[in-house]
Amino acid sequence: MKIKFWGVRGSIPAPGPETNRYGGNTSCVSVTTAAGNLLIIDMGTGLMPLGNALMAGAFGKGKGRATILLSHTHWDHIQGLGFFPPVFVGGNQFKVWGPGDSPKVLEEILEGQMDPNFSPLQTLRNLAATFDVAAIVCGKEFEAEGVKVIAREHPHGQTKALAFRIEEAGRTFVYASDVGYPDGGPPPEAIAHYAGADVLLHDSTYRPEDQATRKNRGFSSYEDACGAAIAAKAKRLVTFHYDQDYTDDDVDEIVAACKTRLEPHGIGVVPAREGDELEI
């Protein structure tokens, strides 16, 4: 599968000259399966450049189909939806899997951000593409676009978020963003969920000293990410969801620190950067 990064920033977009190298868009990652099917993980503002790229293919002709996996519904994971050009082309089909006690609850949350007070789109029903919304049952494997997906819920401040384990032909990609572990680090169930991943994309929002003053926000430090990668025996760690105040130079420092920590364990480090692609 091919994994491409469209938005790698946490919490709020952070455009500007100091974030040009890694990018300022919020969470959005695409996964293209061996068969050429498309999964989109999270709909942060990175969804807009992804949509622009997709319009050159089947999505521009109303013949596109994709599955969207939502880790949670904070703004930085849903705000790209109204700016995703394929939703304005009739015939395109999206299956949306996300958290929530029922599909109706999840649909109402997505509908809420289209309210006229927030968006000129007014309602999801003004989007020409079709949406089939489904609520994820944690721990229960499901198939999406021909690959195996399993979700696990983790703490994220006052709320929860989902980590996705995606498997295809013996290869595993884990997406674990917006993770606020309890004191003591990731529990054994989290490590089991990440175990042996070819690529573990993990929340690396903070330097440890910044995380210490912002514990209640429910994000990981790069040390948390490294600890999880070592415990899970991941092959590569992808750093992700950088704090909005961090410059490219700050992110360089985080990546260098991860390399120092992980290279003795034989674990590679790849920083998520807008436009970069990995194949596993």
Interface residues toward Zn ion, by CB under 5 A:
10, 76, 178
Minimum distance between the CB of residue 32 and Zn ion, rounded to whole angstroms? 23
Extract the tokens encoding 243. Answer: 């704090």
Minimum distance between the CB of residue 71 and Zn ion, rounded to whole angstroms? 8
What distance in Å separates the CA atoms of residue 235 and residue 220, rounded to the nearest whole number? 19
The 10 Å Cβ neighbour count of residue 218 is 21
Minimum distance between the CB of residue 163 and Zn ion, rounded to whole angstroms? 13
Provide the β-strand partners of residue 176: 202
Beta-carbon contacts of residue 205 (< 8 Å; ≥ 6 apart): 10, 211, 219, 220, 221, 241, 242, 243
Minimum distance between the CB of residue 42 and Zn ion, rounded to whole angstroms? 8
Provide the β-strand partners of residue 152: 163
Rank residues 84 and 219 by Cβ distance to Zn ion and give the closer one.
219
Rank residues 178 and 274 by Cβ distance to Zn ion and give the closer one.
178
Q: Is 263 exposed, middle or buried (0-12, 13-18, 19+ CB in 10 A)?
A: exposed
Helix, strand or coil for residue 29? strand
Minimum distance between the CB of residue 77 and Zn ion, rounded to whole angstroms? 6
Helix, strand or coil for residue 12? coil
Rank residues 13 and 64 by Cβ distance to Zn ion and give the closer one.
13
Minimum distance between the CB of residue 155 and Zn ion, rounded to whole angstroms? 14
Q: Which residue is nearest to Zn ion (CB)?
A: 76
Beta-carbon contacts of residue 211 (< 8 Å; ≥ 6 apart): 205, 219, 220, 221, 224
Rank residues 10 and 64 by Cβ distance to Zn ion and give the closer one.
10
DSSP letter at 108? H
Rank residues 76 and 243 by Cβ distance to Zn ion and give the closer one.
76
In the numeric block, the tokens 């394929």 are attached to 86
Minimum distance between the CB of residue 57 and Zn ion, rounded to whole angstroms? 28
Rank residues 168 and 178 by Cβ distance to Zn ion and give the closer one.
178
Provide the β-strand partners of residue 87: none
Minimum distance between the CB of residue 45 and Zn ion, rounded to whole angstroms? 11
Beta-carbon contacts of residue 40 (< 8 Å; ≥ 6 apart): 28, 29, 30, 31, 47, 50, 66, 67, 68, 69
Rank residues 10 and 46 by Cβ distance to Zn ion and give the closer one.
10
Measured in whole angstroms, the distance separating CA 79 from the mean position of its chain's CA atoms is 13
Rank residues 145 and 178 by Cβ distance to Zn ion and give the closer one.
178
